[in-house]
Amino acid sequence: MSQIEKALTAPHVIEYTYKRSLGPVLSQFFTALRERRVVGVRRKDGTVLCPPKEYDPDTGESLGDMVPLKDTGVVTSWAWVAKPRPQQPLQKPFAYALIRLDGADTPLLHAVDAGSESRMKTSMRVRARWADTTTGAIRDIACFEPVD
Amino acid sequence: MSDKKPEEKEGPVQVLQTPVRLEYVFSAGQSASRLLGAMAKGKLLGQRCPVDGRVYFPSRGSCPQHGVPLDGAPVELADKGTVATYSIVRIPIEKVPLELPYVTVQVVLDGADTVLMHLLKCDVDKVHMGMRVQAKWKPREEWTSSVENILYFEPIDEPDAPYDSFKEHI
Ligand SMILES: [Zn+2]
């Protein structure tokens, strides 16, 4: 059979409109974000998890002792995104980074708007840039930016 | 902290929207493109297996049983067929042009040896295995290279097909 000129193509979108019930601990985290604050949760040994968890990852104990944190921190790891995709947090080259906020012992995944890859460095200091309007979601922090 | 003003208090945030959206460009490939091109002309093209002669519709271009390419001349099929099995749907789904409750059917088109899943416009109390049905096409001016040219199937006034003619599909 003869080959056809060109295979047909069509856009194909799959979308799942999930809603997640937050529970008491994450509810406090997202409510704080809406107020442009960050909170973590304290474990029995005194260390602080941010993002907070409902249960201690080592012991399984219930957690709920919320701790206010600063919106500054340190990059512990990062990856440069040279060509952002439409759903990503910034529409210009940026870094995804693990950021340990001041007062926390675990890192939070977020975007860093550093302008260029050469400015990114593990151990660099960053500060949250808050969104103009907040809704109680992780994007209430628009991104982080380097602190000189 | 930020010097921007906090939002008005609205009670605690208890639910998070976390949509997952996957945007693909689907390529139909050679075989399905040929089938869809024929759909635009109101034709149903199947493909015959060179090993056992079974006719596949819709065809993916190779025989799933023998692993050989289906590269012979396409086989034109009737837009009539036999209901092999069916299911009654009572929960709405987007883009279905029938009112609830409606019927989904596995149709063996005349000349084909595989089933086609489609909708049947029919009183849900009347549908049965072996029922003879025919495609209801969109108006010709709305035809595109899409399987959606067929809106649904409808019962036709023909005697039921014998069980043996479709039993392998149930
Ligand atoms: Zn075969």
Q: What's the gap in Å between B64 CA and the centre of ligand 1?
A: 7
Characterise A87 by phi-psi region: left (phi > 0), alpha (psi -120 to 50), beta (else): alpha
From the list A21, A63, A59, the residue with the least C-alpha distance to A40 is A63
**C-alpha–C-alpha distance, residues A41 and A45, integer Å:** 12
Position B20 in a domain: no
**C-alpha–C-alpha distance, residues A103 and B141, integer Å:** 67
> Among partner residues A13, A21, A70, which is closest to B23 by beta-carbon distance?
A13
Q: Tell me the pLDDT tens digit for each residue of B68-94.
A: 999 888 999 999 999 999 999 999 888
> CA dihedral in degrees (A4, A6, A8, A9; nearest 10)?
160
Is B34 or B153 the better-scoring residue by pLDDT?
B153
**C-alpha–C-alpha distance, residues B56 and B65, integer Å:** 11
Task: Categorize the per-residue pLDDT at B8 as very low, low, confident or very high, splitting at 50, 70 and 90.
Answer: low
**C-alpha–C-alpha distance, residues A96 and A128, integer Å:** 14
Lowest-confidence pick of A27-41, A106-120, B95-109, B150-164: B95-109
The answer to whether the Cβ–Cβ distance between B15 and A19 falls below 8 Å is yes
Written as tens digits, the pLDDT of chain A (148 aa) is: 455 567 899 999 999 989 999 999 999 999 999 999 999 999 999 999 999 999 999 999 999 999 999 999 999 999 999 999 988 999 999 999 999 999 999 999 999 999 999 999 999 999 999 999 999 999 999 999 999 7
Residues of chain B in Cβ contact (below 8 Å) with chain A = 1-2, 4, 6-7, 9-10, 12-30, 32-34, 36-37, 71-74, 145
Cis peptide bond upstream of A57, omega within 30: no
Task: Categorize the per-residue pLDDT at B169 as very low, low, confident or very high, splitting at 50, 70 and 90.
Answer: very high
Joined together, the tokens standing for residue B55 give: 């006719």
> Among partner residues B7, B15, B74, which is closest to A22 by beta-carbon distance?
B15
Position B137 in a domain: yes
Question: What average pLDDT does range B151-163 have in this prediction?
Answer: 97
- Report whether pLDDT(B7) > 80: no
Q: Does A105 touch chain B (CB under 8 A)?
A: no
Position B19 in a domain: no
Q: What's the gap in Å between B73 CA and the centre of ligand 1?
A: 15
**Average per-residue pLDDT for chain B:** 91
Joined together, the tokens standing for residue B69 give: 């390419």
Using an 8 Å CB-CB cutoff, list chain A residues near B28. 7-10
CB atoms within 10 A of CB A57: 11
From the list B96, B93, B97, B122, the residue with the least C-alpha distance to B107 is B122
* Full domain range(s) for residue B121: 29-169
The domain tally of chain B equals 1
Closest approach of chain A CAs to the CA of B93, in angstroms? 14
Contact A20, B13 (CB under 8 A): no
From the list A48, A46, A106, the residue with the least C-alpha distance to A77 is A106
**C-alpha–C-alpha distance, residues B14 and A40, integer Å:** 17
Joined together, the tokens standing for residue B65 give: 């049983």
Position B13 in a domain: no
Position B56 in a domain: yes
Q: Scan for tokens 């939070």, then name that residue.
A: A108
Whole-angstrom CA distances from A83 to A80, A86, A95, B107 are 9, 10, 11, 47
Burial of A69 per CB tally in 10 Å (0-12, 13-18, 19+): buried
What percent of chain B has pLDDT above 70?
95
Position B164 in a domain: yes
Task: Categorize the per-residue pLDDT at B62 as very low, low, confident or very high, splitting at 50, 70 and 90.
Answer: very high
> CA dihedral in degrees (B161, B163, B167, B170; nearest 10)?
80
Position B3 in a domain: no
Contact A95, A42 (CB under 8 A): no
Closest approach of chain B CAs to the CA of A77, in angstroms? 23
Is B133 strand, coil or helix? strand
Position B158 in a domain: yes
Is A9 strand, coil or helix? strand
